[in-house]
Structure 1
Amino acid sequence: MFVRPPGGGTRPPRHARRRKGSAMSGLRRHPKPVKLRGLRDATKRGVAAADLRELLEKGCALFRIPLKGSRVCTYDDGTEVTDEYFETLPGNTTLVLLSGDEAWSGFVCDIARLLCADAHSHRLVEAAKDLMCGERSPRRRKVLGDLLLHLEDSSEAEEREEDEGWFHGVDARFKTKSAYMKYSCENRIRNYMKEVVSFGKSIAKATVRAEFMKTTTGLAALLKSNKYHGCYFDRTDEGTERLCTREGWFTCQRSTRTCAAPSTPSTPTAAERAGSSSARGTWTTEKKRTVIPALLEAVRDHRSDGVNLKYFYQLLFTRENLKLVHIVCHDKAPHRLTCDGRKFSKASAPRNKCSVSIGRKRLRVK
């Protein structure tokens, strides 16, 4: 029996009511599963929400942060999620929940935290090495290699007990890296001086040999007064002569147009200990070929007391001629170094200067 409903009109048939009810239920949004994490809490937690508002409410309750001012952004690039954007996101997208002034610029934020995580660096090193073993992509291997370079770098450590691996094979009397590097530089400069003396002893003519050896005595005195320029490799030196940064990093001094060294500065500190020549000066082979023979010519022409020691000292032992280059940039071919014959004698030196400046000391040259 058909009954007219109150207020007039007719009540729709039951099958029509079913169709209407099914249409209304079709408009309801199904909860979307996402992976939610916090700014400082990297733990990902599964949350299902039908819209952005529900996601924020559940996320704030889960991470215990205020709902007011909260927002979410994508983990990959830091794009802030709006109501419309949330509808387009695929399921299980990783999102970051933020509050207040917190910011997220993408996964690079995690990389920055990895590089600064000193407390867990050993775990990161092991994880990177494991990834490196199974990685075939050259690009990814390079990225992992660069990451390992930064994680394993202990150049800032100074004391022996802080970095025992660096001191492997180093005499026990050296307690700090700076002390050993200073000694290493001094020893190298001493060897350069020995080459000059050895050349002098091989001169056949006795009178010329005697004058040349007087000149080497003057050069040796200047070197001793300047402590054999050990400050070049001493990162703790307060002067301006050192070739490394405070952290102990050296850079290739070859022209940027021809330099083939890696873009990351190299540290010859460890290479020096191992006997490598990555800190070799480009002028080391030129002493015998050019500078020392020129010094002999000056002695023959002006005798020992007339030779311009400052000029030859700078060519042989100072940064005036010393260029620190990476091993891959070291050119073993003959260099085009020439000596200026006009500067061989004291008479050619400026008359208004009675002393010469070598390093941080001034010495009178007779």
Structure 2
Amino acid sequence: MRHKRCRNSRPFVLQNVGRVRKLVVGASVDDLLTKACAEFKLPQNDVRLLCEDGSEVDDEYLACCCDYTVLTVLKSDEEVKYVPEKVKEYVEQMQKLLSQRDVEVCAAFAEADREKLVGILQRSVQQLEVPRHLVLADSKDEHPDWFRDLKNETSKKKVMHKKATSRIKGYYHKSKSDLQKNFSDEHRPCLEYVFEEFSRYLKKNDANGVYFVRGEKDALCTDTGLFTCEGVFDAAECVSVGHNINPYMSREHLTVFGTWNLDHGVERSRTILPSIKTAIEESRGQCINVEYFYKLLFTKENLKLVHPVCHLKTLHKNFVADREQWYIVSETMPGSDGEIASEKKATVRRPGVRRKGRTRKQIYNACSLQSS
């Protein structure tokens, strides 16, 4: 059984006797043990792979495990606490919560809200896996294991800020690229104007990097860094138990958090981008309401953070871009605080035609004239 390989390599979380964890991809027990020996510097002829109840894992059992299952790698003379002892710790933790008359726990019991109660207990159990002081730590000196493979980073908050801005900026570049493929030369100046305004809004709002930064006013997590799934696109909240994660807790949690999605309610590719294209082509001299489309593409007014299970690929019926908000009535080009924006140089080129640098105001005017 040991040498029967699984069909595909999959991700697992391996931990050693000190509960130091590594994310490893493998297709069999032998694969995982070979990589674990390299990661933890263990002798290859003196290791075994165990599940949480202390029993040894073979390939048949491994094939039934879910992705990111936590498995333990030990030498023959090493031992760790297994499920019975851990359960005892969990029960003691629950007793402690109840004895302190925790407001949230008591309210959940009073309301007989099973889902809410299970969620509270799961979060409390998760905290047993990583000491609270490490969860709350921010610097590399305080929690060095969290920064594995992040050699140039020194702050958890800065890492999370970069991850948020990377996602938001990704929407910007992908949207611009997608629209440019299907735009006529006639309307390109207007498209350029729209994306320059998007860029200005993103710079002003720091690309909404605060969404993943705990402690920030607009963060999507609690002050400790716990993110909770906001549910499928047409639901008010997530109804699944256990759809929460704290990437500030450990390197593994950070990795798994990368599989969570920022889901557009009004869909980006199916609805928002076609609406921008139509709005520009049919503007007839009207000013595009850039702020409206900016909020749809890049802000939590239209984005929900969701667990992979709640990220549905189906058509988002009844989620549309409101035509009444496509345009604004204005005699001046939108800019900072409602004034005409700065005369920053922009270059608009058409095939075979050389043009001098044009200002954003000129592009705006050209946009209005060409669409009228």
Match of 2:42 in 1: none
Structure 2: how far apart are the matches of 1:305 and 1:250? 41
Within the alignment, does 1:289 sit opposite 2:270 as a pair? yes
Match of 2:300 in 1: 319
- 1:253·1:324 contact (CA, 8 Å) conserved in 2? yes
Within the alignment, does 1:342 sit opposite 2:328 as a pair? no
Structure 1: how far apart are the matches of 2:289 and 2:266? 22
- Residue pairs, 1:231-246, within 5 angstroms: 231-237=210-216, 240-246=217-223
Corresponding residue SS for 2:320 = coil
Please tell me the residue identity of whatever aligns with 2:229. C
Within the alignment, does 1:224 sit opposite 2:198 as a pair? no
Deviation, structure 1 residue 261? 4.2
In structure 2, which of residues 282, 286, 291 is the aligned counterpart of residue 310 of structure 1?
A: 291
Corresponding residue SS for 2:239 = coil
Query: Structure 1 residues 330 and 129, CA, compared in 2 at 3 Å: closer, same or farther?
Result: farther
Deviation, structure 1 residue 201? 2.1
| Root mean square deviation of aligned Cα | 3.8
Please tell me the residue identity of whatever aligns with 1:302. S
Query: Structure 1 residues 259 and 329, CA, compared in 2 at 3 Å: closer, same or farther?
Result: farther
Deviation, structure 1 residue 315? 0.3
Structure 1: how far apart are the matches of 2:158 and 2:168? 16
Query: Structure 1 residues 319 and 146, CA, compared in 2 at 3 Å: closer, same or farther?
Result: closer
Structure 1: how far apart are the matches of 2:194 and 2:241? 38
Within the alignment, does 1:163 sit opposite 2:143 as a pair? yes
Match of 1:330 in 2: 311
Match of 2:350 in 1: none
- Following TM superposition, the consecutive aligned residue runs of length 4 or more in structure 1 with deviations greater than 3 angstroms are 133-136, 143-148, 255-258, 268-273, 275-279, 361-366
Match of 1:249 in 2: 226
Post-superposition CA distance 1:14-44 (Å, at most 9, x none): xxxxxxxxxxxxxxxxxxxxxxxxxxxxxxx
Please tell me the residue identity of whatever aligns with 2:223. R
Query: Structure 1 residues 298 and 150, CA, compared in 2 at 3 Å: closer, same or farther?
Result: same
Q: Structure 1 unaligned runs (5+)?
A: 1-127
Taking every aligned residue pair, what percent have the same amino acid on both sides? 25
Query: Structure 1 residues 363 and 273, CA, compared in 2 at 3 Å: closer, same or farther?
Result: farther
Match of 2:167 in 1: 188
Structure 2: how far apart are the matches of 1:169 and 1:283? 31
Corresponding residue SS for 2:144 = coil
Deviation, structure 1 residue 148? 5.4
Structure 1: how far apart are the matches of 2:340 and 2:229? 33
Corresponding residue SS for 2:261 = coil
Structure 2: how far apart are the matches of 1:180 and 1:204? 36
Post-superposition CA distance 1:124-177 (Å, at most 9, x none): xxxx962317999xx99xx9987752222332111112222221222x232110
Match of 1:49 in 2: none
Match of 1:84 in 2: none
Q: Which has the higher contact order (CA 8 A, sep 6+)?
A: 2
Q: Structure 2 unaligned runs (5+)?
A: 1-78, 95-120, 342-372
Corresponding residue SS for 2:148 = coil
Post-superposition CA distance 1:190-213 (Å, at most 9, x none): 111001210232124111233212
Structure 2: how far apart are the matches of 1:301 and 1:178? 44
Match of 2:56 in 1: none
Structure 1: how far apart are the matches of 2:264 and 2:194? 21
Deviation, structure 1 residue 245? 1.7
- 2:161·2:209 contact (CA, 8 Å) conserved in 1? yes
- 1:261·1:328 contact (CA, 8 Å) conserved in 2? no
Structure 2: how far apart are the matches of 1:301 and 1:321? 24
Query: Structure 1 residues 190 and 151, CA, compared in 2 at 3 Å: closer, same or farther?
Result: same
Structure 2: how far apart are the matches of 1:333 and 1:318? 21
Which protein has the larger Cα radius of gyration, Structure 1 or Structure 2? 1
Deviation, structure 1 residue 291? 0.5
